[in-house]
Chain A
Amino acid sequence: MLSIGLDIGSTTIKSAVLGEDGKLLYNSYERHFSQIPPRATAIINNIKDKFSLTDNDEVRFCVSGSAGMGFAEDAGFPFVQEVYATRTAVLRYMPDTDSVIELGGEDAKILFLTGEENGDKELEVRMNGSCAGGTGAFIDQMATLLGITPDEMELQAREYEKIYVIASRCGVFAKSDIQPLLNQGARIPDIAASIFYAVVNQTVAGLAQGRQIKGNVLYLGGPLTFHSQLRAAFDKTLGVKGLCPENSLCYVAMGAALAPQDKAMRLGDIITSIQERKSSGTYKSCEPLFDNEEEYKEFRERHMRDRVETADPKTAEGKVYIGIDAGSTTLKCAVIDEQGRLLTSVYMPNSGNPVPLVRNFLLDFYKEYPALTVAGSASTGYGEEIIKNAFSLDNGVVETVAHFYAAKRFRPEVDFILDIGGQDIKCFKIANGAIDNIFLNEACSSGCGSFLQTFAGALNYDIEEFAKLGLFAKAPVELGSRCTVFMNSSVKQAQKDGATLDNISAGLSMSVVKNALYKVIRATTKDASVSLGKHIVVQGGTFFNDAVLRAFEKEIGMNVVRPDIAGLMGAYGAALYAMERAPRQSTILNQSELEGFQHEVKAVTCKGCTNNCKLTVNTFITADGEKRKFIAGNRCDTPITGKKNSDDELNLYSYKLGLLESYKPVPGKMGRIGIPMGLNMYELLPFWYRLLTELGFEVITSPASNRSLYLKGQQTIPSDTVCYPAKLIHGHVQALIDMGVETIFYPCLTYNIDEGLGDNHYNCPVVAYYPEVIKANVRALSGIRYINDYFGIHRPKDFVKKFTSKMNGYFGNVFTVKQVGRAVRLAYEEYKGFLKNIRDTAKAYINAARKAGKHIIVLAGRPYHVDPEINHGIDKLICGLGAAVITEDSVSAEMEKFRVAVLNQWTYHSRLYAAAKYIADKPDMDLVQLVSFGCGVDAITTDETRSILESEGKIYTQIKIDEITNLGAVKIRMRSLFSAIGK
């Protein structure tokens, strides 16, 4: 009897037919475009024909796969979990395997088949958790972003020269890493290869969780079968030579076929069961977008009224102004006359490199309208700088300002603008004629235009068709507002529960709106005219989609203005901006200069400082042979000016870092003791250093954080969703072990020192207890004296006694209470002195900044945000924009305890609230909060800090940071802030 296994994954369906002896007789692999039942039926019929069977022939039959679970349940088929199926197949066909790495459409799995210690047969399996970056869908998504197919990506990657660091935790993150690279002109082969390495890192960091992948490694699943470069990246990272076996796509299906079955099934019954399968549930639905055609007509007519004034470029003459918006996925150009009327425009995908497209646009324009004189030009968007430099434009304008200029043309009284573009959501409030508050989307809040597009693509539709489907859907699916990966599975579930495509389309449009409202703006809809504004203008390409527009109006219960050039607003605004600023001949390249224009790109690593920025050097050569260089990817001016960061830079982050680095080891009779420089050590190093040094230890701190230090410890991270500062600790501990220290000191601290600013003085759970995680997961610690006891430095007297007894326990009774008491006293003094130093320096910086007329930014985070690997040089970036940067702990002591609306129980967070209060009445100060991704505590502090600042009329700015951070977005945010406060 034949055994048939069917593996229905998130994007593909695979089958395997085995003979009595377990030999593979037939297999198939195809995409199912969510049309699972017809595809499954076709496959069974195919097998029937292939083996000349009839409906009455009996087979053993079993289903597996993530989408197969619901399918099997509904049709009453036997089901086997896919990882388990993989293992069955591997044990049967490749019995010598030690570990398996299997990547699927939306899943990533690692199987350990032999014991870590002894090589005995065992089973330990890992599946990706709720964050599902680094999978096949992710690779597809990235390929789309690069404007190539996944196959082409493979070919491109072979030509790589260097690897950029790209986050693959999720598509949103990765996109925001790749986009700036594209805009800076990085080479596609380098990006393609970097994407594969990102997948490897995500898999290893997220799934290995403390186990080393070694021995005979097997690669299975689509991505690893199709991309030899991905396999190479795994080989290189893991230091193994993995094998991708024959039929590597069908192991799950083969495993399903091998699953023991009690009874055989008739082929005819299988087909009938598929067709007659009952859906087990109903999906959650919401109100339709439009009840009828009339409603839609009225809606259309209302929005047709918001049209831009235009003029015919053929008959126009005189001065014109050009605005160019090089956005994340699209390029927009607009030309206006002196009355601000739109003459001509383009809107096209930027295909990864906007420079040649702009050149063509300008050349065409010059040729077609020789009578017009360009009197001013401006660029905006992600590619603002490269375009400005390449074509010698007159101005660059931050995109928020550009959008505001454009919106004002449509509604002079506009007080709220929402822009949903391809990759990002921008919202800003306007008060007193200036931008007052800005919201930008961040990771874990996707739901932009490209999200809809990717979805439409996955279902084999183009975006416009797909959106139209939803307009009259009767029961749109309620999908909530989460990230793309979750959305995919929600849609799958809804489909399983009988949702039709039109209802899914409408549901997706609504989820985009809800995402913007509740995750980005964090508005409550009780009264949108209060929480948003009275005169709302919406724009960005995504709002061309009537379904999205309607969903937005329905959700907030108000009518809004959508200009007919919703997708062009950035460019149009930039042109208006150029007009306001440029009453003279423009510096823009002319036709002859453009004719011979060339653009070269080179990737280099900056050696200016420890940040090791990956730079892209663009060289623009004009017809007359003039060469101009444009460097991108830098955080400071060093690579451009060649100078080290100047001494007059007022950066307390740098100062604090330098101060911490000044604690050098002093040889002592107790030998070396290592301290991992992470988390609260950035606060308490002076304390522990002095204490241990006084007791005769030579205190060795782990080296400065960087990417390679992180990768050293990556394999031992047990939780992939913990914050990056915590993850870094693994690298620091490994570095100390590699340095050969015999003792590592990393105590647990439930409580911090009470600074009297809050109701309690806790550390957050991660800071408090991370030493336990290190102990439980870093195997290399065996043989090392690892001191991770619980100490209470908030009670100095008791601390002396407890510390003495603990240390005597480790080192034999060598310390007396008196001796320790003295050392502890000195340690507290050292710590106080350190804080005083920081606070005094802050005062000096504030005075200097005021003298120089500089704005002062309190870059507020936690002590460990001083680490450049954690803050990604944001401090330098802000200084580069002409402001002074100080820390939250440098001003918090200026405040007395005051009431906040939350339980104020963490020392570090009390400082944050105090700093917010401190700057509230200082016109030349603003606060920017750094938030590490995954910081649960900050869900509470961000809202509270915002309330404190806003109740005092200050703008709240939050920057979310993770392993990798898109500095382009940070820059936009900071520039918008400066433009809002009039700097």
Chain B
Amino acid sequence: MKEIKTHVTSGIPFSKAMKKEYTILIPDMLRIHFTMLRDVFVSYGYKPELLTNTGPQVVNEGLKYVHNDTCYPALLVIGQMIDALNSGKYDLNKTAVMITQTGGGCRASNYIHLLRKALKKAGYENIPVISFNISGLEKDSSLPLTLPMLVKMIFALCYGDMLMLLKNQVEPYETEKGAADKAVNKWTKELSRQFKAGKCWSMKALERNMRSIVSDFAGIKVKITPKVRVGVVGEIYVKYAPLANNFLEDFLRSQDCEVNVPGIMNFICFKIDNRIEDINLYGGSAIKKFVCGKLLGIFYKIEKIMQSVLAEYPRFVPPATYRELKKMVKGIIGYGSKMGEGWLLTAEMVELIRSGYGNIVCAQPFGCLPNHIVGKGMIRKLRAIYPEANIVPIDYDSGATRVNQENRIKLMLAVGAEKLRDREQRTDKSESAKKEAEEATV
């Protein structure tokens, strides 16, 4: 028989023994959320390190070791890891890297394989790669997750969403610069402390914390002036990570905008719900459907808490719940479109338009396949339903320049500013008309 040759390398599994000794490098996507996630890991005896290295060498390493037509997020995350390994900061015999794996028909599910290939090419074959996923992929390399740990992580993401939302809604208007940031720091520290103390993973604790957080932010002094309100949607990494979107949020704030970046919880609900939708559409196990439904139920409870807590302060715009989002997109795109961000991305645009953030940056890596469908592919239809929608799709990529991107965003903002002026004038007019009418009656 012919000898079977193979180019496949299996990588080194992450064993229990490695847990205490190995530093685990984690890519950064959402600073607030991931900081708390890291702290959850620490509380379980891991030694995680959130990668914050940026700069041209990150992109260069990515370009060198990852196929250049691969999505930009993969290129950046892998480049960032190799750059970190190159830095000499870590003991290479005691370092592992971790990457999330979503599963599904998008090429993002392949990141871990690309990472392994890249590590091999760069001569880091002995670095264990840990897959962080909830899809049961890569059993040998997955992290042993316990239920309490998982719950804490989910809570961390919920808190993250809440902090991000409040920061975005308060910061542009705060009279004392840095007040919102201070509150974010205070709460990430406090919550991490609670995680470590083993507290705060009951719904009650969640509600208590959420209430205190909102009341803290509500206490920050603000001066409300009309600002162009901008929403950001997109491929998840490019949407959130400043490294990928050229510090989009900072740029928008520098242009005097209020930014709304929908949170990450809906994405998790979406991923769970996809299993149910699959069964609805194509048939399948009723038990699986039941379990997923139960799991979703937990998230629905959390959402409800967040909404009710926010409802006490009318000046905050609460996020739509997952179920509301799903309803919003009905008739626009089918629930079967689940790859990448799927219909959720379209739904987020609808939500943003409806809640007053009709100026939207739709951020995607150059050549992102799902985005051809759910992003760029849906803009026309959204405009037909919501003529006030002002959406600009922006491609992010190692070769795209900031000048080009910012120029296009500025165009969107100019249109947004004009709409804002028109609205103000209309309200002014109606107010003065009201006044006149009142005076007339007097």
Q: Which of B6, B334, B403 contacts A748 (CB 8 A)?
A: B334
CA distance A750 to B371 in the complex (A): 15
Q: Which of B110, B117, B335, B373 contacts A765 (CB 8 A)?
A: B373
Interface membership of B317, Cβ < 8 A: no
Interface membership of A948, Cβ < 8 A: yes
Given known contacts A481-B63, A936-B107, A768 and B404 CB-to-CB distance under 8 angstroms: no
Decide: B70 and A526 in contact? CB cutoff 8 A: no
User: Which of B201-209, B295-303, B376-384, B423-431 contacts its partner?
Assistant: B376-384
Decide: A902 and B110 in contact? CB cutoff 8 A: yes
Q: Which of A489, A776, A791 contacts B377 (CB 8 A)?
A: A776
Mark contacts of A759-779 with chain B using CB atoms, 8 A cut-off: 1 yes-contact digit, 0 otherwise. 010111110111011001100
Interface membership of A482, Cβ < 8 A: yes
Most buried by B among A763, A902, A948: A902
Q: Which residue of B lies closest to A523 (CB)?
A: B64
Decide: A524 and B65 in contact? CB cutoff 8 A: yes
Q: Which residue of A lies closest to B68 (CB)?
A: A519
Q: How far is the CB of A511 from chain B (nearest CB, A)?
A: 10
Q: Which of B339, B368, B407 contacts A69 (CB 8 A)?
A: B407
Decide: B123 and A526 in contact? CB cutoff 8 A: yes
User: Which of A18-26, A78-86, A627-635, A875-883 contacts its partner?
Assistant: A78-86
CA distance A610 to B367 in the complex (A): 31
Interface Cβ pair total, 8 Å cutoff: 245
Decide: A794 and B411 in contact? CB cutoff 8 A: no
Interface membership of A744, Cβ < 8 A: no
CA distance A211 to B383 in the complex (A): 12
Decide: A776 and B332 in contact? CB cutoff 8 A: yes
Mark contacts of B113-140 with chain A using CB atoms, 8 A cut-off: 1 yes-contact digit, 0 otherwise. 1101100011100000000000001000
Decide: A936 and B367 in contact? CB cutoff 8 A: yes
B395 partner residues in chain A, CB cutoff 8 A: 129-130, 721
Question: Number of B interface residues, CB 8 Å?
Answer: 83
CA distance A70 to B404 in the complex (A): 11
A722 partner residues in chain B, CB cutoff 8 A: 372
Interface membership of A787, Cβ < 8 A: no
Q: Which of B55, B109, B401 contacts A903 (CB 8 A)?
A: B109
Q: How far is the CB of B228 from chain A (nearest CB, A)?
A: 13
Mark contacts of A771-803 with chain B using CB atoms, 8 A cut-off: 1 yes-contact digit, 0 otherwise. 011001100000000001111101101110110
Interfacial residues of chain B within 358-417, with CB under 8 A of chain A in the complex? 366-374, 376-381, 383, 387, 393, 395, 397-404, 406-408, 410-411, 413-415
Decide: A903 and B110 in contact? CB cutoff 8 A: yes
A284 partner residues in chain B, CB cutoff 8 A: 55-56
B369 partner residues in chain A, CB cutoff 8 A: 764-766, 936-937
Given known contacts A127-B408, A480-B398, A940 and B114 CB-to-CB distance under 8 angstroms: yes
Decide: B402 and A493 in contact? CB cutoff 8 A: yes
Q: Which of B121, B334, B381 contacts A524 (CB 8 A)?
A: B121
A478 partner residues in chain B, CB cutoff 8 A: 56
User: Which of A118-126, A407-415, A887-895 contacts its partner?
Assistant: A118-126
Interface membership of B147, Cβ < 8 A: no
A952 partner residues in chain B, CB cutoff 8 A: 5
Decide: B381 and A776 in contact? CB cutoff 8 A: yes
Interface membership of A595, Cβ < 8 A: no
CA distance A489 to B123 in the complex (A): 34
A776 partner residues in chain B, CB cutoff 8 A: 332-333, 377-378, 380-381
B380 partner residues in chain A, CB cutoff 8 A: 209-211, 718, 776-777
Q: How far is the CB of B384 from chain A (nearest CB, A)?
A: 8
CA distance A802 to B281 in the complex (A): 8
Decide: A81 and B411 in contact? CB cutoff 8 A: yes
Decide: B339 and A765 in contact? CB cutoff 8 A: yes
Q: How large is the interface on A (under 10, 10 to 19, 20 to 34, 35 or more residues)?
A: 35 or more
Given known contacts A764-B369, A901-B113, A906-B105, A939 and B67 CB-to-CB distance under 8 angstroms: yes
Interface membership of B439, Cβ < 8 A: no
Decide: B373 and A773 in contact? CB cutoff 8 A: yes
A718 partner residues in chain B, CB cutoff 8 A: 372, 376-377, 379-380
Given known contacts A70-B403, A518-B68, A936-B367, A772 and B117 CB-to-CB distance under 8 angstroms: no
Interface membership of B337, Cβ < 8 A: yes
Interfacial residues of chain B within 23-66, with CB under 8 A of chain A in the complex? 55-56, 59-60, 63-65
Interfacial residues of chain A within 826-848, with CB under 8 A of chain B in the complex? none
A905 partner residues in chain B, CB cutoff 8 A: 105, 109
Decide: A83 and B411 in contact? CB cutoff 8 A: yes
Q: Which residue of B lies closest to A283 (CB)?
A: B56
Decide: A772 and B333 in contact? CB cutoff 8 A: yes
Interface membership of B438, Cβ < 8 A: no
Decide: A719 and B377 in contact? CB cutoff 8 A: yes
Q: Which of B117, B334, B387 contacts A122 (CB 8 A)?
A: B387
A365 partner residues in chain B, CB cutoff 8 A: none
Given known contacts A493-B402, A526-B122, A765-B339, A937 and B107 CB-to-CB distance under 8 angstroms: yes
Interfacial residues of chain B within 84-121, with CB under 8 A of chain A in the complex? 104-107, 109-110, 112-114, 116-117, 121
Interface membership of B71, Cβ < 8 A: yes
Decide: B105 and A748 in contact? CB cutoff 8 A: no
CA distance A798 to B332 in the complex (A): 25
Interface membership of A943, Cβ < 8 A: yes
Q: How far is the CB of A460 from chain B (nearest CB, A)?
A: 22
A486 partner residues in chain B, CB cutoff 8 A: 399-401
Interface membership of B338, Cβ < 8 A: yes
Decide: A66 and B70 in contact? CB cutoff 8 A: no
CA distance A514 to B56 in the complex (A): 14
A772 partner residues in chain B, CB cutoff 8 A: 333-334, 337, 373, 377-378
Q: Which residue of B lies closest to A721 (CB)?
A: B367
Interfacial residues of chain A within 283-302, with CB under 8 A of chain B in the complex? 284
Q: How far is the CB of B156 from chain A (nearest CB, A)?
A: 28
A940 partner residues in chain B, CB cutoff 8 A: 67, 70, 107, 110, 113-114
CA distance A699 to B336 in the complex (A): 26
Q: How far is the CB of A855 from chain B (nearest CB, A)?
A: 21
Decide: A750 and B401 in contact? CB cutoff 8 A: no
Given known contacts A81-B411, A766-B369, A790-B336, A483 and B399 CB-to-CB distance under 8 angstroms: yes
Interface membership of A899, Cβ < 8 A: yes
Interface membership of A587, Cβ < 8 A: no
Interface membership of A492, Cβ < 8 A: yes
Interface membership of A237, Cβ < 8 A: no
Interfacial residues of chain A within 430-480, with CB under 8 A of chain B in the complex? 444, 478, 480
Q: Which residue of B lies closest to A106 (CB)?
A: B404
Interface membership of B8, Cβ < 8 A: yes
CA distance A480 to B61 in the complex (A): 11
Interface membership of B231, Cβ < 8 A: no
Q: How far is the CB of B129 from chain A (nearest CB, A)?
A: 13
Decide: B397 and A765 in contact? CB cutoff 8 A: no
Interface membership of A522, Cβ < 8 A: yes
Q: How far is the CB of B333 from chain A (nearest CB, A)?
A: 5
Decide: A125 and B411 in contact? CB cutoff 8 A: yes
Interface membership of B2, Cβ < 8 A: yes
Most buried by B among A69, A760, A939: A939
Q: Which of A210, A790, A921, A947 contacts B2 (CB 8 A)?
A: A921
Task: Report, nearest first, the 8 A-B pairs whose CB atoms are least far apart.
Answer: A482-B399, A792-B282, A798-B283, A790-B336, A762-B105, A939-B69, A776-B381, A486-B399
Using A490-B399, A939-B70 as known contacts, list a sample of 20 further A-B pairs with CB atoms less than 8 Å apart, ordered by residue number in A.
A69-B407, A82-B411, A83-B414, A127-B408, A130-B366, A478-B56, A486-B401, A526-B122, A719-B372, A765-B373, A772-B334, A772-B373, A777-B377, A795-B284, A797-B283, A799-B282, A802-B283, A940-B67, A940-B114, A943-B117
16 A-B pairs whose Cβ atoms sit less than 8 Å apart in the complex:
A66-B407, A70-B403, A127-B411, A130-B395, A284-B55, A486-B399, A487-B399, A524-B121, A718-B376, A718-B377, A798-B283, A802-B282, A901-B117, A903-B113, A940-B113, A942-B67
Q: Which A residues fall within an 8 A CB radius of B? A: 66, 69-70, 80-84, 115, 122-125, 127, 129-130, 209-211, 284, 444, 478, 480-483, 486-487, 489-490, 492-493, 496, 514, 518-519, 522, 524-526, 718-719, 721-722, 726, 748, 750-751, 760, 762-766, 768-770, 772-773, 776-777, 788-792, 794-795, 797-799, 801-802, 899-903, 905-906, 921, 934, 936-940, 942-943, 947-948, 950-952
